[in-house]
């Protein structure tokens, strides 16, 4: 059996095992909806750790990994408390609790890592270490933890499933569109071999899948999510931001001279390799739903 077949089998087995568990966590509200908190913590912190590993410089400069991971954990918990404070009564413990607490965590984090840098590490490379520590939280943890906020909305699990399906089909369309029709290279420095045909095929898949999924849910489950025009606009937007998330990861991996962000998921690479297209689409989709009046 050659390496390609082995890799394909690993990818399929990983998906068969992980997808049902992931889907159950998204749907269930057992134990005060804490499963969505745990999955957000797991995915966002593993992605953050992979980011910190990639960004370690040749001169030995690196992020404050433990401090950053602890801050990421706290941010996820704060997102959960904000999302479910009224639902489960957490607000009685913290008066007027809101998401500004996240900025408080970041402020405290900056103070802590400056303290560590001044008293525990050489001054050389301090700016790099501090910047990497904070940027990982802002770039990965805060955006992805919006999965908790989305889950807390009315029918939130439906919107999460819709988003995953559209992004998956967007990536699938982009891949096969590029393989079958790709002639005009984008010449992007981070992914020079990808084609415009691939990107537009992904967008077409995203638009059509959003339209079809919306109609299926309305016909079979009597839930109106979006109009056809909304579905088309969302398909375009989610496709664009999904590709931006993918390109952002590609840029950082290329700068770090690595192929995969990690190896935690057999056949797929790192956690960030799997969820890169969702990093930006979660907050974009969530805030659109808020503007639409979903609560």
3-state secondary structure of 52: helix
Do 171 and 32 belong to one domain?
A: no
User: At which of 103, 132, 152 does a domain end?
Assistant: 152
The predicted-structure confidence for 85-134, as pLDDT tens digits, reads as follows 777 766 666 555 566 677 778 888 888 888 888 887 777 778 888 899 99
| Alpha carbons 102 and 12: distance in angstroms, whole number | 38
Do 147 and 160 belong to one domain?
A: no
The predicted-structure confidence for 249-265, as pLDDT tens digits, reads as follows 989 988 888 888 877 87
| Domain encompassing residue 59 | 1-152
User: At which of 98, 132, 152 does a domain end?
Assistant: 152
Do 252 and 202 belong to one domain?
A: yes
Do 180 and 122 belong to one domain?
A: no
Global pTM value: 0.90
Nearest Cα neighbor of 172 from 91, 244, 239 is 239
Mean pLDDT, residues 142-163: 95
Do 2 and 148 belong to one domain?
A: yes
Do 159 and 290 belong to one domain?
A: yes
Do 48 and 133 belong to one domain?
A: yes
In b/e form, how buried is each residue of 116-134, taking b as 16+ CB within 10 angstroms? bbeeeeeeebbebbbebbb
Give φ, ψ of 234 to 5 degrees: -65, -40
Do 130 and 259 belong to one domain?
A: no
Do 183 and 77 belong to one domain?
A: no
Counting residues of the chain whose pLDDT is more than 90, the rounded percentage is 59
Do 163 and 294 belong to one domain?
A: yes
User: At which of 152, 181, 196 does a domain end?
Assistant: 152
What's the total number of domains in the chain? 2
- Going by pLDDT thresholds of 50, 70 and 90, the confidence category of residue 73 is very high
Place of tokens 């059996």: 1
């Amino acid at each position: 059996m050659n390496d390609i077949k082995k890799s394909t089998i690993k990818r399929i087995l990983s998906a068969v095992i992980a997808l049902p568990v992931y889907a159950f966590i998204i749907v269930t509200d057992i134990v005060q909806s804490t499963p969505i908190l745990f999955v957000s913590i797991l995915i966002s912190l593993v992605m953050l750790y992979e980011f910190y590993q990639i960004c370690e410089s040749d001169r030995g400069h690196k992020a404050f990994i433990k401090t950053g991971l602890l801050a990421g954990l706290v941010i996820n918990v704060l997102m959960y408390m904000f999302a479910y404070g009224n639902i489960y009564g957490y607000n009685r413990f913290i008066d007027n609790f809101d998401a500004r607490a996240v900025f408080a965590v970041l402020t405290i984090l900056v103070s802590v890592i400056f303290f560590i840098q001044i008293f525990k590490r050489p001054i050389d490379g301090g700016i790099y270490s501090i910047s990497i520590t904070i940027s990982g939280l802002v770039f990965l943890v805060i955006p992805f933890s919006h999965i908790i906020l989305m889950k807390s909305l009315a029918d939130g699990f439906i919107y999460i499933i819709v988003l995953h399906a559209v992004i998956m089909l967007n990536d699938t369309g982009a891949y096969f569109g590029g393989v079958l029709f790709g002639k005009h290279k984008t010449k992007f420095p981070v992914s020079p071999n990808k084609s415009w045909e691939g990107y537009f095929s992904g967008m077409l898949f995203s638009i059509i899948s959003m339209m079809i999924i919306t109609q299926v849910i309305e016909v079979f489950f009597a839930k109106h999510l979006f109009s056809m025009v909304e579905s088309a606009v969302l398909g375009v937007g989610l496709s664009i931001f999904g590709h931006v998330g993918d390109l952002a990861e590609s840029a950082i991996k290329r700068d770090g001279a690595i192929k995969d962000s990690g190896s935690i998921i057999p056949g797929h690479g790192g956690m960030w390799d799997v969820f890169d297209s969702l990093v930006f689409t979660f907050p974009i989709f969530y805030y659109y739903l808020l503007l639409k009046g979903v609560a």
